Amino acid sequence: MDTVKIKQNAGKVVSTLLLACFFIFILIPFVMIVLTALKTPAEINDMPNRTLLHRLLPDSWTNFSNIKAVFFGYASQLNGVPFYRFIINSLIVTFFSLFPSLILALTSAYGFAKYDFPGKNILFYLFLGLVMVPMEMISIPLFMVVSKIKLINTYVGMMVPSFISAFGTFLLKEAFEPVPNSYIEAGRIDGAGEFWIFSRIMVPLIKGPLVTFVVIKCTWSWNDFFWPLLVVSNEKMKTVTLGLSKFSNDLFKEYGQLTAAVLISIVPLLIVFIFCNKNIKAGLMNAGVKG
């Protein structure tokens, strides 16, 4: 018994150390972004002549000049367009593309999970095959369609590829399947319609996976770079990722402003993750549980 306990304790210690190392490895880049954003150009350029502690820490913890310059568009790379404009554009695209994607994913997942119809499995695997198709493969015909219907440099044009999510259908189908059909039958016996059963009974039962999908979808939309790069040329219509690309210039040496832009861009996603953290963990755990 003592040997078993020793092995268990040793396993816990090793697991804790590995998790701590992994956490530190992930945390260090974020800490460095914050610290660099608070430094002046003189502090950054003079780093080789400074002590190790002064290389890491800023001279002033209240130096928000880089953040202000980026946020209000004073940075030379932004050409007078404030970074908050990019934030607003990304919020609009992310928020309004989420609803059609969520509705289509929920209804298709529910249909595949709880209804039987000819060719269901074949259709599902074909639909799931969309995950395997890279965006670059369909970008040219999709761009031609968007261009023909005059959606270049518009919010709708940026949202079009995000309306359908094969991953969302798969994730929510896996969440719907373990839910007993007796819930549906009880609703029908009580005289409830199919839409009422779907919206009032079934959807609330998969809250965890649903929130997980919302967070993942928001992250994908927020971080999308390729499609906005194709359909947006107007400076005031650009998203966060396109705004960040303005700082990726070999001649640009304002690393404080670059890290300030990165810091500003991750704050909205960080807020979403903090508020949805519990539901995300529950959703990811329950999505793989059957019965």
CATH 1.10.3720.10 assigned to 79-286: yes
Residue 289 has pLDDT above 50, yes or no: no
Tell me the pLDDT tens digit for each residue of 99-155.
999 999 999 999 999 988 888 888 888 888 877 788 888 888 899 999 999 999 999
At residue 102, the pLDDT reads 92
* Spatial distance between the Cα atoms of 77 and 215, rounded to a whole number of angstroms: 31
Mean of per-residue pLDDT scores for the chain: 85
Q: What is the pTM of this model?
A: 0.84
- SS3 label, residue 12: helix
Tell me the pLDDT tens digit for each residue of 199-247.
899 999 888 888 889 888 999 999 999 999 999 999 999 999 999 888 8
What lies within 8 Å, CB to CB, of 72 at 6+ separation is 82, 83, 84
Per-residue tokens: 38: 């608070």
Per-residue tokens: 231: 């359909």
In the chain, domain spans = 79-286
| CB burial readout 39-55, b (16+ within 10 A) else e | beeebbeeeeeeeeeee
